[in-house]
Amino acid sequence: NRSLELSPHWASTHLEIARWLLTRGRGGQAALHLARAADLDVLAARELTCAFIAAGFGEEALHAAPEGPMRARFVDAAVSCVSRRDPRSPALERLALAAEPEAIEPQVRRAERDCATNDEHLDLLRALTRAHRTNPRPHLALTHCLLARKQHKEAKAVARTALTYMPALRPKLDALLRGGDPSEAVLDRQEAPGEGVFDAPTIPSR
């Protein structure tokens, strides 16, 4: 390939080749170039993972996850390519956790599926909120799970803690406590906290 000869160290070159191979059903070969692209520019490579999953090459895409601190984020992004209600999600979650046990999204999805009746999965969501205080995903899932269990007091406590670190979650948590389910919503980083069912959060002293 001429472009590979001219620019072997550009992520875009490997992504272009990966797309071409993928359209021809050669997912294994395409994944080799996806992996190389991920090593060079993980953010750019993550965008192509959804195409791999849609084409039935989810396992190959997950094997392309780079080593290092960006690995979990790459895997989380891959799992997010399908809705948590999609029949393919459970299998994708298993593949994702095999590739990166610390990835957040597959852990949350597996736990929230039956946390209303499974105490072990409820405890997992609690642990994830403690370990990832500034990630909205486990906080929203835990709040929703607690409400499903009618544990309203703890649900409000979780929401208040989340607002301490993520004030922009206020509208989502307000809606959740009032009976909505914003867990599929995309959080707007520019969304300002508004008045709602919570008092203004206090930032703990250091």
- Provide the residue ranges of all domains of the chain, joining segments of one domain with +: 1-104, 115-185
What is the C-alpha separation between 200 and 163, in angstroms, rounded?
8
Read off the pLDDT of each residue in 99-104 and give the average, rounded to a whole number: 94
* Number of CB atoms found within 10 A of residue 180's CB: 14
pLDDT of residue 196: 32
pLDDT-derived band at 7, boundaries 50, 70, 90 = low
Is the domain 1-104 a CATH 1.10.1660 member?
no
pLDDT of residue 10: 78
What is the C-alpha separation between 88 and 61, in angstroms, rounded?
15
Nearest to 183 by CA among 139, 123, 140: 140
Quote the tokens at residue 87. 């029949």
What is the C-alpha separation between 115 and 142, in angstroms, rounded?
9
pLDDT of residue 191: 36
Sequential DSSP letters for 41-61: -HHHHHHHHHHHHHTT-HHHH
Residue 145 has pLDDT above 60, yes or no: yes
Q: Which of 29-33, 101-105, 152-156, 180-184 has the lowest mean pLDDT?
A: 180-184
Q: Rg of the chain over CA atoms, in angstroms?
A: 20
pLDDT in tens, 107-125: 999 999 999 999 999 999 9
pLDDT-derived band at 150, boundaries 50, 70, 90 = very high
pLDDT of residue 1: 53
Quote the tokens at residue 105. 């999204």
Q: Which of 5-19, 135-149, 164-178 has the lowest mean pLDDT?
A: 5-19
SS3 4: helix
Average pLDDT of the chain is 84
What is the C-alpha separation between 65 and 141, in angstroms, rounded?
25
Q: Classify 192 in phi/psi space as left (phi over 0), alpha (psi -120 to 50) or beta.
A: beta
Quote the tokens at residue 44. 């750019």
What is the C-alpha separation between 47 and 81, in angstroms, rounded?
9
Q: What pTM was computed for the model?
A: 0.76
pLDDT-derived band at 12, boundaries 50, 70, 90 = confident
